[in-house]
Amino acid sequence: MLNLDIQKIRKDFPILNQQIYNKPLVYFDNGATTQKPQIVIDEESKIYSQENSNIHRGVHYLSEQLTQRYEDARKTVQKFINAPHDHEIILTSGTTESINTIAYSFGEKYVNEGDEIIISTLEHHANIVPWQMLCERKKAVLKVIPINDKGELLLDEYQKLISPKTKIVAVNQVSNALGTVNDVKKIIEIAHKNDIPVLIDGAQSVQHNVVDVQDLDCDFFVFSGHKLYGPNGIGVIYGKEKFLNEMPPYMTGGEMIKKVTFEKTTFNELPFKFEAGTPNYVAAIGLATAIDYIQELGLENIAAYEKELLDYATEKLESIEGLRIIGTAANKVCAISFILENIHHFDAGMVIDKMGIAVRTGHHCAEPLMDRFNIEGTLRASFAFYNTKEEIDKLYDAILTVKQMFG
Ligand code: PLP
């Protein structure tokens, strides 16, 4: 039994109610960014029109009120992922900044020449390049967990990569390009047996399933607000207190200090040590509003409905001759990457767009993964709980039209 009233939910998202090229918009690019419910848009607008003031600095009314709301937003994030303490939640501009912060700061403290860092073939560039740069700086070695042809990580191979020199493992919970759900609990368990901390990139997981960082026992967990129906420009680091306390700051400046003299600076306590400058307090509060909104719907309900969409779309798309799905893992979220025989993904994407359907085309910021499959890129349809089976039917028809045009 479906516990979500999709037609009612769709009315919460004003952007969905429009025509593109005189066709109702079908938005299937949710992996890139999700749309925002009116309640999030209104919250941000209300702050700017009635409550705006810089936080953590003033003793005046507006500043104190908004500081409280910012800190409440941090607590909402903490509860959302079940982090033990609110000072273990650092608010950043997004997953990219979160991973760069950890790679730099963790690297400064713990990584030396000859050390090793493990990532996987499934990573987004945001979880590759910062580690690569760190390895260059420190003369460390980057090792990569391979995958099978379905797009699943090979955990036996992962075990073999671990050595006494491994300093950190950084993998995503869900692949943005293929939709594979990784068994991160197992990955963490294996790393911890060897006393190695693990960073989980949750940019594509928090919006689809319940995440409990204590249950996972990950050492770091990062995600972006804009992929979680929240505003742009806000992201999260959860880090275990032990590491965050030992790690040096990444960015420096205002707010992150305890005392500054021209001779020496001492740093503020957590979480402020990692939040230099004026934070995006408007987006932080918007993110908390988005979290409240999806928790009201229920992530279990969202997961169940999105599974229905995935199964429906997979069956339909698989039935199209010459269409090959890239990424057929046993455990997936609702994203389907595919290629069409003898038709370039950009050409196909442009025709599909003309039918009012937004799908992603390209390498999805995962070029090494595309290389692994020996392809340049794919088309990707990534669904959200406001999408419908009727919209999937439209995509199916659009692909048939593409085939006719280029066939
Ligand atoms: N990691 C994954 C798995 C992603 O899908 C993305 C964005 O698509 C990122 C990291 C980077 O997120 P952002 O661009 O919000 O910083």
Q: Give the domain CATH number at 328.
A: 3.90.1150.10
37 domain-assigned: no
Atom of ligand 1 at shortest range from CA of 97: 16
Does the C-beta of 176 come closer than 6 Å to ligand 1?
Answer: yes
Kindly state whether residue 357 falls inside one of the protein's structural domains: yes
Total tally of structural domains belonging to the chain: 2
How far apart are the CA of 95 and the centre of ligand 1, in A?
Answer: 6
Residues 170 and 184 in one domain: yes
Are 193 and 173 in contact by the 8 Å Cβ rule? The answer is no
Helix, strand, coil shares of the chain, percent, nearest 5, are: 45, 20, 35
Query: Are residues 303 and 286 part of one domain?
Result: no
Mutate to test the pocket of ligand 1, among 204, 360, 364, 382 (most ligand atoms within 8 A of CB): 204
Whether residues 215 and 347 fall in one domain: no
Does 135 participate in catalysis according to the annotation?
no
What H or E segment, with its residue span, contains residue 286? helix 281-297
Are 250 and 150 found together in one domain? yes
If asked whether residues 313 and 201 sit together in one domain, one would say: no
Residue 35 counted as domain residue: no
Distance 237 CA to ligand 1 centre (A): 13
Final residue belonging to a domain, choices 276, 295, 314: 295
Other C-beta atoms closer than 10 Å to the C-beta of 312 total 17
Query: Is 177 within a domain?
Result: yes
Q: What is the CATH number of the domain that holds 126?
A: 3.40.640.10
127 with 272, same domain: the answer is: yes
- Asked whether residue 12 falls in the same domain as residue 111, the answer is no
Q: Flag whether the pTM goes above 0.95.
A: yes
Domain that holds residue 354: 6-30+298-402
Atom of ligand 1 nearest to the CA of 94: 16
Task: Return the H-helix or E-strand segment holding 142.
Answer: strand 141-145
**Parallel, antiparallel, or unpaired for β 265-267 and 360-362?**
unpaired
Q: Which atom of ligand 1 sits closest to the CA of residue 176? A: 5
**Is the same domain home to 128 and 272?**
yes
Q: Please, what is the average pLDDT of the chain?
A: 97
Rounded CA gap, 346 and 360, in Å?
9
What is the whole-number distance in angstroms between the Cα of residue 216 and the centre of ligand 1?
20
Contacts of 308 (CB under 8 A, 6+ apart): 2, 389
* Residues 146/154, Cβ–Cβ less than 8 Å: yes
Answer whether 343's CB lies under 8 Å from 406's CB. yes
pLDDT band, residue 1 (cuts 50/70/90): low
Neighbour tally for 242: CB within 10 Å: 11
Residues 11 and 52 in one domain: no
Q: Whose CA is nearest to atom 4 of ligand 1?
A: 203
Whether the CB of 29 sits within 6 Å of ligand 1:
no
DSSP string, 28-53: -BTTT-----HHHHHHHHHIIIII--
CA Rg value for the chain: 22
Do residues 87 and 222 both lie within one domain?
A: yes
> How many whole angstroms separate alpha carbon 3 and alpha carbon 301?
6
Segment (H or E) for 69 = helix 61-80
User: Is-contact 93 237, C-beta < 8 A?
Assistant: no
Instruction: Determine the pLDDT at residue 210.
Output: 97
Note whether 181 and 47 are same-domain residues.
yes
Over residues 186-243, the pLDDT tens digits come to 999 999 999 999 999 999 999 999 999 999 999 999 999 999 999 999 999 999 999 9
Q: Taking Cα atoms as reference points, which of 252, 296, 297 lies closest to residue 275?
A: 252
Please write the tens of the pLDDT for every residue from 94-121: 999 999 999 999 999 999 999 999 999 9
pLDDT-derived band at 162, boundaries 50, 70, 90: very high
Paired sense of beta strands 89-92 and 116-120, if any: unpaired
Q: Among residues 135, 218, 334, 365, which one is catalytic?
A: 365
Query: Best substitution site from 34, 124, 127, 229 to test ligand 1's pocket, by max atoms within 8 Å of Cβ?
Result: 124
Bridging pattern class, strands 357-358 and 335-340: unpaired
Q: Measure CA 256 to chain center.
A: 26
Given a cut of 80, whether residue 55 has pLDDT beyond it is: yes
Residue 1 lies in a domain: no
- Domain contains 227: yes
- Asked if the structure places residue 233 within a domain, the reply is yes
Q: Which of 277, 295, 313 is the last residue of a domain?
A: 295
Q: What is the pLDDT of residue 391?
A: 98
Q: Does ligand 1 lie within 6 Å of residue 43's CB atom? A: no
Beta bridge partners of 176: none
Residues 154 and 255 reside in one and the same domain:
yes
Closest by Cα among 163, 159, 227, 150 to 189: 159
Residue 91 has a pLDDT of 98
Query: How many angstroms does the Cα of residue 57 sit away from the middle of ligand 1?
Result: 32
Secondary structure of residue 187 in the 3-state scheme: helix
Instruction: Report yes or no on 99 lying in a domain.
Output: yes
Last residue of a domain, one of 237, 262, 295: 295
Span from the CA of 124 to the centroid of ligand 1 (angstroms) = 7
Of 308, 288, 182, 314, nearest to 234 by C-alpha is 288
Backbone φ/ψ region at 179: left (φ over 0), alpha (ψ -120 to 50), beta: left
Cβ density class 186-204: b for 16+ within 10 Å, e for less: ebbebbeeeebbbbbbbbb
How confident is the model over 315-369, as pLDDT tens digits?
A: 999 999 999 999 999 999 999 999 999 999 999 999 999 999 999 999 999 999 9
Is residue 295 exposed (0-12), middle (13-18) or buried (19+ Cβ within 10 Å)?
middle
